[in-house]
Amino acid sequence: SSGTPGSESAFNKSPSTIITVSLSDPNQISDRFNQNTFVSEYVSPKGVLKEQVMKAVKEAAHVSRTVPFEIFNRNHLNACRGLVQVLYFVRVENLKAVIGFAKKFVNEELLNYCVNVIARHRPEFVDNYVQLPSHITTNPSIYVDVSKVDSILYARDSIISKTKMTDPIEIDSFHDFTATDGDPEHFVAYFREDIGMNLHHRHWHEVYPNFGETPFINMDRRGELFVYMHSQILARYNFERLSNGLRAVQKFDKFHESIQEAYYPKLDEASEVKVWSPRQPFAKLQDVNREGLVYDVHDLERWLERLIDMIDRGYAFKKLEASYRSADGTEKQVKLEEPAAINDLGNTIDAFPDQSYNYDYYGDLHTVGHIIIAYCHDPDNRFRERGGVMGKLEAALRDPMFYRWHAFIDDVMQRYRNKLTPYTLDDRLFPKIIIDSVEIDSNIGEKNVIRTFWQKDRVDVTDGILSLNKANLDKRPSKVYVTFQHLQHKNFTYKLKVQNKGPKPVTGVVRIFMAPTRDDTRNKMLFNKLRRYMIELDKFTQVLQPGKNEFIRKSTCSSVTIPFDQTFMTKSEAAKYTKGEKSQTDLLSYCGCGWPHHLLIGRGRPAGFPCTLFVMITDYEKDKVPDSSIESCGTSSISYCGVRNKKYPDKRPMGFPFDRPIPDSDADLDTFMTMSMETHDVGADKEPIPNMYQTQFSVTYINEVYPG
């Protein structure tokens, strides 16, 4: 649903989000709300009344200020809903004051999330290129252990110290991450605990929140993108696992089995010490009943059964509303049909209350799974322990269990994908376009090799630390940096040679993917397996003149990633965009939302990791979306984040052509890339589809650390 931003009707669309509170009600906090200045200042001609602000703030204040904000906690999400609406519709000149008012009552992190959601969506911010600094710069303790700052300052305060209190501080972060090689899962800790990836995940869920009843948020293909973006995280995680000789991630679908993987976060919540709880090895899910959260493990099973029933029958029970009831009073069934169903199913599994087929019936599988896992160590609060990272947006990806849970969620989606009509030749063919060759050039003398290594960088977290540090002003360090090590690759280019046999120039969409060639048992992967390992590397448009074309594409242009400086943008850098000192055209996308460029390529192996590169060119005339665009080389991540307040810029299903399996389960990628010219049957006589190309390449890893 799309309301008119700023209109009263759009706001009033969701009366259910406003709890009934009478201002004359003698309740515990109403007197604190009764400040006379408030009355005149916050009334907006656009329909946000003082009462609405108060109701929203009061609703949000139900989440205690002393608990960590959890994005996967439905009570917390519900608490956000009214506040986000008020912040969206209140007059912009009153916004600061309303935020200041809310600050007095609302959980700080919850408010921070709501404000960020608004900053990503309110037209005044979008149109004026307002950028938010990277979350780590304002809230470093959610990403790194900053407790060392205090001990450093304490040591400096002694008379024998030669260091001045104001000298800059460098925190060396988790050089060896949070565990040891005694735990096999530790081999991929560099990926799970990568700060940039966790920032990306936080950002994505700010751009596509799921508290429902938010008419102003761009919902175009949100459910599909939820599924796609998370399945890409899984494909990338499996690339790392295979690079390290680990088996592929095992989905967690037997909810009563113990969880072998443990996780000990060693991180605090910002602003006060609220440590996130660890999970011991072999923990088991238990029914949760604490602090207003009541879920049984059996809920997960029941929702799953219903979802499977829906997928297998191909029909969903639509919500029982008057308009959906048929004459005899039974519920309406909706046929699962593309292109709508993949999106609706995504919004049903990651339940977006108003977009789900039926929130009451199909439940809240993905979100509640996060929460039950997050509380399995203290499900009834008898030990008064905080949740684990699985409930926390900023840190869920650190936990090995994240991937097992999402592999399960993705498997439910695969059950649906398996029922989709396989792509026909017409779906795949771009007539008269022939890819002659594609090469990877890393400028190292050898073709088709990508080099990976470690890099040490630092991020300025002064803003975040100083807001924590209550010490006296003249004793504050002038700067605080976090240094950290991350995976990196040497920049490379794709060199493409393409023929256009037609008489006119045409525009193609070049789609580039990679996958490990062999699986975790070292067998060459058949198509229906390989497609789930395919990692999108880039997608761009290219004009193809009649005859031969040669062009290169830089890895740094990737439509999947954003540059390092954007992932770790400081406040002063962010301000440069608003002031126009930095190119505002870069901000077409959700600037700051994007896969971190340093993780474009997985680690690989010292002796070289055999990989498959797949390139396909499709017809832009067929794929383009009005009023949206696939940029030729930008600093935005359209592939995983979409375009801000516009439609997703590619008409094809996300992940095309690997989003659907093929009927022949013994066929490999070669077979997928062939056709019969006569019958259009796939694979019949090994005639290649000329607008597709594959080649082998190698990812070679060097275990050395280089400065950034």
The binding site for ligand CUO (CB under 6 A) comprises 201, 205, 230, 366, 370, 396, 406
Smallest distance from the beta carbon of 32 to ligand CUO, in angstroms? 35
Decide whether 366 or 404 has the Cβ nearer to ligand CUO. Answer: 366
Residue among 596, 624, 421 at smallest CA distance from 508: 624
Q: Tell me whether residue 394 or residue 631 sits nearer to ligand CUO (CB atom).
A: 394
Q: Which is nearer to ligand CUO, 6 or 353 (CB)?
A: 353
Length of the chain, in residues: 708
For ligand CUO, the closer of residues 59 and 364 by Cβ is 364
- DSSP line for 589-603: B-TT-SEEGGGSS--
**Smallest distance from the beta carbon of 363 to ligand CUO, in angstroms?**
15
| Least distance between ligand CUO and beta carbon 228 (Å) | 12
Nearest approach, Cβ of residue 497 and ligand CUO (Å): 39
Q: Which residues 6+ apart lie within 8 Å of 480 measured at CB?
A: 140, 149, 168, 169, 170, 171, 460, 461, 462, 465, 466
Is the Cβ–Cβ distance between 154 and 586 less than 8 Å? no
Angle, alpha carbons 321-326-328 (nearest 5°)? 115
The answer for residues whose C-beta is within 8 angstroms of residue 556's C-beta and 6 or more apart is 491, 563, 597
For 413-466, what is the HEC assignment? HHHHHCCCCCCCHHHHCCCCEEEEEEEEECCCCCECEEEEEEEEEEEECHHHHH
Residue 365 or 435 with smaller CB distance to ligand CUO? 365
Q: How far is the CB of 669 from ligand CUO (least distance, A)?
A: 29
Q: Which is nearer to ligand CUO, 477 or 642 (CB)?
A: 642
Which CB sits closer to ligand CUO, 90 or 288?
288
Report d(CA 342, CA 345) in Å as an integer. 5
- The nearest distance, CB 370 to ligand CUO, in angstroms, is 6
Shortest spacing between CB 373 and ligand CUO, in angstroms? 10
In whole angstroms, the minimum distance from the beta carbon of 232 to ligand CUO comes to 11
Cβ 206 to ligand CUO shortest distance, Å: 11
205 vs 489 by CB, closer to ligand CUO: 205
Least Cβ distance, residue 350 to ligand CUO (angstroms) = 6
Q: Is 271 left (phi over 0), alpha (psi -120 to 50) or beta?
A: left
To the nearest whole angstrom, how small is the minimum distance from the Cβ of residue 107 to ligand CUO? Answer: 20
Distance CA 234, CA 109 (A): 28
DSSP class of residue 618 equals E
Residue number with CB closer to ligand CUO (405 or 481): 405
Is the CB of 90 or the CB of 409 nearer to ligand CUO? 409
Tokens of 234: 């899984």
Q: Which is nearer to ligand CUO, 197 or 310 (CB)?
A: 197
Q: Which is nearer to ligand CUO, 205 or 598 (CB)?
A: 205
- 205 Cβ neighbours under 8 A, 6+ residues apart: 71, 393
Taken in order 677, 681, 687, 689, is the CA torsion positive or negative?
Answer: positive
- Dist CA 573 CA 132 (whole Å): 9
End-to-end CA distance of the chain: 45
Burial 328-359 (b: 16+ CB within 10 A, else e): eeebbbbebeeeebbbbbbbbbbbbbbbbbbb
Cα–Cα dist 46/659, whole Å? 44
* Contacting residues for 408 by C-beta, under 8 A, at least 6 apart: 251, 252, 253, 369
What is the dihedral angle through the alpha carbons of 11, 12, 14, 17, rounded to the nearest 10 degrees?
A: 80
Closest approach, Cβ 192 to ligand CUO, in A, equals 13
Q: How far is the CB of 230 from ligand CUO (least distance, A)?
A: 6
Q: Which two tokens stand for residue 382?
A: 């008898």
390 vs 682, which CB is nearer to ligand CUO?
390
User: The sheet that has 535-544: what strands, in order across it?
Assistant: 169-172, 480-489, 449-460, 692-707, 609-619, 506-516, 535-544
Q: State in angstroms the smallest separation of the CB of 369 from ligand CUO.
A: 8
Which residue is listed with tokens 């976090």? 482
Please, are residues 66 and 272 in contact by the beta-carbon 8 Å criterion?
Answer: yes
CB of 684 to ligand CUO, least distance (A): 41
Q: For residues 350 and 378, which CB has a smaller minimum distance to ligand CUO in the complex?
A: 350
Question: What six digits make up the tokens of 39?
Answer: 């009355």
Give the CA angle between residues 682, 688, 694 to the nearest 5°.
105
Rg from Cα positions in the chain: 26
Q: Tell me how far, at minimum, the Cβ of 594 lies from ligand CUO, in Å.
A: 15
Shortest-Cβ-distance residue relative to ligand CUO:
396
Q: What is the b/e burial string over 280-315, where b = at least 16 CB atoms within 10 angstroms of the residue's CB?
A: eeebebbebeeeebebebebbeebbebbeebbeeee
Query: 639, 539 in Cβ contact below 8 A?
Result: yes
Toward ligand CUO, which CB reaches closer, 369 or 661? 369
Which CB atom, from 58 or from 205, has the smaller least distance to ligand CUO?
205
Q: For residue 584, how many other CB atoms are within 10 A of its CB?
A: 16
- Give whichever of 77 and 611 is closer to ligand CUO, judged by the CB atom: 77
Q: Are 292 and 427 in contact (CB under 8 A)?
A: no
- Sequence-distant (6+) residues with CB within 8 A of 538 are 494, 510, 511, 512, 553, 555, 557, 558, 559, 560
Q: How far is the CB of 127 from ligand CUO (least distance, A)?
A: 28
